[in-house]
Amino acid sequence: MTAPEPFGARLAAAVGTRGPFCAGIDPHAGLLEAWGLADDVAGLERFALGAAEALAPECAVVKPQSAFFERFGSRGVAVLERVVSTCREAGALVLLDVKRGDIGSTSQAYADAYLDPASPLACDALTVSPYLGLGSLEPFVATAARHGAGVFVLALTSNPEGPEVQHARTTAGAHAGGTVAGAVLAHLRALNAGARPLGSHGAVVGATIDATQEDLDVHGPLLAPGFGAQGGTVDDLRRVFGPAVRHVLPTSSREVLGHGPDPAALREACRRANDALAVLR
């Protein structure tokens, strides 16, 4: 049986063809209202599938935020399943923003739900939280490797509460004395060692964080929320990521989705974002 192509290789090829911009699909109530839709399952379906059909043929990566679907229960998750399949059929990689993190068999169940091709929610990659210990991510890492999928681990987020944990100093393990974020980044660097052209294990690093002394080059993708409407600029990406900026996937939802529901306007917003980011490649 032929091993699946690693996510890192598939991502590098997609970005080379379509550009690095990652379009978020976040169907929260305010955006549904802005599109003239009711905040119900019917509105969710029209919004999310309209966004997917417009953006997925343009973007290398589309990132649905699972919580905005889950709030409608099983019918909302059914819409999410359709969004995932619509995006993948259009050639986009799907990064599901779920930020899961647990231990043992529960982590394995989450990994199977989102990364196993047999699952109706199978995606190309997902976001995870490392704060039950880096070893707790092993089921995600192993399952991703088995299926050619990717994992994006929270490292340095831009929310004001983040530094309380992420900047704290560790007292145990191989990276004792360094920051928690530094330990996460080092773990990812080790997982990606030797991968060509890019590793499949990424970090989530906010586009608007303060300057950091951490080495952000993990030889894998760097998901950068906060680009666009949340204030992050191309100059911020250069400032935060330095030489590692070539691996950055800047992501925004409101910046693009605010142009809906017109499909042509949504596609043009995605193109403009990629044009603005071309100077970083």
What is the sign of the dihedral through the CA atoms of 59, 65, 66 and 68? negative
List the CATH code of the domain at 7-280: 3.20.20.70
Instruction: Classify 180 in phi/psi space as left (phi over 0), alpha (psi -120 to 50) or beta.
Output: alpha
**Active-site entry in 28, 82, 88, 99:** 99
**Residue with tokens 């952000």, as numbered in its chain:** 216
CB distance 248 to 280 below 8 Å: yes
Percent of the chain with pLDDT over 90: 90
Burial class, 81, CB count within 10 angstroms (exposed 0-12 / middle 13-18 / buried 19+): middle
1 — pLDDT class (breaks 50, 70, 90)? low
63 part of the active site: no
Token output for 126: 């997902």
Q: What is the mean pLDDT of the chain?
A: 95
- Identify the pLDDT of residue 267: 97
Write down the domain spans for the chain: 7-280
pTM over 0.75: yes
Q: Which residues pair with 25 in a beta bridge?
A: 64
- Identify the pLDDT of residue 177: 86
73 — pLDDT class (breaks 50, 70, 90)? very high
Q: Alpha-carbon distance 21 to 252, whole Å? A: 8
- Identify the pLDDT of residue 172: 78
Per-residue pLDDT tens over the stretch 146-180: 999 999 999 999 898 999 999 999 987 777 789 99
Our CA angle for 192, 243, 156, nearest 5°, is 65
CB distance 126 to 98 below 8 Å: yes
The mean pLDDT value for 220-236 works out to 89
